[in-house]
Chains A and B, each alone.
Chain A
Amino acid sequence: SQQGEEDPQALSIQEGENATMNCSYKTSINNLQWYRQNSGRGLVHLILIRSNEREKHSGRLRVTLDTSKKSSSLLITASRAADTASYFCATVLLMDSSYKLIFGSGTRLLVRP
């Protein structure tokens, strides 16, 4: 079963606007990661935030993590048409000495030129 839920499920914005996606998860985590997927392609790792971090930046990306609320957000600033893709949060679960990466439900972002 999926670990996390994301909202919104779909987001349509104008180029230049900011896009915010939220992710909630269920169990304790070691870290949380955000991935991007273009339609019909593999996943591209965007950013990782550890459980002891609250905010992280990478270029136009800003990720926040609130472990008390078990939630994270991904902000893309000054969006571009090329940012159109699906975005997934993923959490690492360590169970029985094995490592699993479980994905949230994803947000489909459309950036209109």
Chain B
Amino acid sequence: GAVVSQHPSWVICKSGTSVKIECRSLDFQATTMFWYRQFPKQSLMLMATSNEGSKATYEQGVEKDKFLINHASLTLSTLTVTSAHPEDSSFYICSALLIAGKNTGELFFGEGSRLTVL
């Protein structure tokens, strides 16, 4: 299957700093990528839909200015957690949509990025 790479796999930062997480589709182009957040022993919660060349669509309750998403190319979306605080510590997972035909596609997931804010 197609490969989606996330970087970094884990990051520890001080409170108040900003952290950028990258999501790359390695062998296909993805006009749409998704960012999820997962707290320990919980499910994945969709944060936003990242659209290449346009603004991201955020889910209700997700702060746009807090979680900046940029999808500048067909193979790269970035999530920047700005002014991170301990409550932002979580596992962030991206997925990229591979269009397989009209009205059909498949999602491929990255390995996730674990953020710990001290």
A-side residues, CB < 8 A to B, are 1-2, 35, 40-45, 88, 98-106, 108
Bound together, the chains give a CA A35 to CA B107 distance in angstroms of 11
Bound together, the chains give a CA A103 to CA B109 distance in angstroms of 13
| In the assembled complex, B26 has its CB within 8 A of some CB on chain A | no
CB contacts (< 8 Å) of A1 on chain B: these are 60
Q: Which of A35, A42, A45 contacts B112 (CB 8 A)?
A: A42
| In the assembled complex, B49 has its CB within 8 A of some CB on chain A | yes
Bound together, the chains give a CA A100 to CA B114 distance in angstroms of 23
B-side residues, CB < 8 A to A, are 1, 6, 32, 34, 36, 41-46, 49, 57, 60, 91, 93, 95, 97, 105-112, 114
Bound together, the chains give a CA A2 to CA B60 distance in angstroms of 12
Interface centre among A35, A41, A43, A104 (most CB of B within 10 A): A43
Can you list 16 residue pairs at the A/B interface with Cβ under 8 Å? A2-B43, A41-B111, A41-B112, A42-B6, A42-B110, A42-B111, A42-B112, A44-B109, A45-B106, A98-B57, A100-B46, A100-B49, A102-B46, A103-B43, A104-B43, A106-B42
